[in-house]
Amino acid sequence: MEESKMNMPLLGDNFPDLKVQTTHGPMDIPGDLKGQWFVLFSHPADFTPVCTTEFVAFQKRYEEFEKLGCQLIGMSIDQVFSHIKWVEWIKEALDVTIQFPIVAANDRIALKLGMLHPGKGTNTVRAVFIVDPKGKVRLIMYYPQEVGRNMDEVVRTVKALQISDKQGAIPAGWPDNELIGSNVIISPATDEKTAEQRVKDYENFDWWFCHKPLEK
């Protein structure tokens, strides 16, 4: 397991090159997604209750991700035949059409992404990787098999990352922060002159805590 720890990507790293088979055909990740954001998320197994609720929840937010220019990609170590049958079952039984591809991974790929945790069994844990248009890993989340994810938080973090790249840091609970609402935080001043000017130019609690309204 030490090797997997060394190989798994960290924040700011390039997402590792993966040539995979998916329910939408072969994919080269991140090569085929160059220039756009994507969320790759793993699930323990097809035809399981929690994973089914997650896939329906992701699909219900599919258009939100599309508006953000963000591709959804599912993944587990089940074979692609199982993925296809599961997607068919979700459509027939729940009347939900899964529009995003699902990767048929193997142990090598799962270890490369740190998705196999021996203490949690042989299936992949619930991992989430948010990757930017340059192929850089921007956010990683891991959940155990027994706890389903909050997809609104995944949508929120994609939005927050996109905004922070252009406007400033994002406060806790954004866009409903207890102190500054939907405002964004301006980077603290690094010299006395700028610090003095900041409190004149922006809403603030002090020169090191200035904020401004979100630009639409």
Give yes or no for residue 3 having a pLDDT over 60: no
Asked if 138 and 61 sit in the same domain, the reply is: yes
CB 45 within 8 A of CB 123: yes
Could you tell me which of 163, 129, 127, 156 has the C-alpha nearest to residue 33?
Answer: 129
Q: What residue type is 191 in one-letter code?
A: D
Q: What is the pLDDT of residue 145?
A: 82
Determine the structural domain holding residue 214 and report its residue range. Answer: 167-216
CB 52 within 8 A of CB 90: yes
46-55, 144-153, 170-179: which has the minimum mean pLDDT? 144-153
Q: What is the pLDDT of residue 118?
A: 65
Question: Tell me, what CATH number does 45's domain have?
Answer: 3.40.30.10
The first and second tokens of residue 184, run together, are 């964004």
> What would the pLDDT profile of 75-122 be if each residue is shown by its tens digit?
988 899 999 999 999 999 999 999 999 999 877 887 778 776 666 555
Report the predicted TM-score, pTM, of the whole model to 2 decimal places: 0.90
Report if residue 158 sits inside a domain: no
CA angle, 124 as apex, 119 and 126 as ends, to 5°? 100
Asked if 137 and 200 sit in the same domain, the reply is: no
Give yes or no for residue 163 having a pLDDT over 80: yes
DSSP character string of 135-178: SBEEEEEEE-TTS---HHHHHHHHHHHHHHHHT-B--TTTTSBT
Distances, alpha carbon 105 to alpha carbons 2, 26, 143, 149, 199, in Å? 20, 12, 18, 20, 52
CB 172 within 8 A of CB 154: no
Q: Which of 149, 181, 206 is the last residue of a domain?
A: 149
Task: Indicate the average pLDDT of the chain.
Answer: 91
Active site residues per annotation: 51
User: Which of the four pLDDT bands, split at 50, 70 and 90, describes residue 2?
Assistant: very low
Total count of domains within the chain: 2
User: Which of the four pLDDT bands, split at 50, 70 and 90, describes residue 123?
Assistant: low
Span 12-24, average pLDDT: 94
Question: Tell me, what CATH number does 188's domain have?
Answer: 3.30.1020.10
User: Is the bond preceding 144 in cis, omega lying within 30 degrees of 0?
Assistant: no
Distances, alpha carbon 24 to alpha carbons 3, 45, 139, 211, in Å? 31, 18, 25, 44
Q: For tokens 């905004």, what's the residue?
A: 163
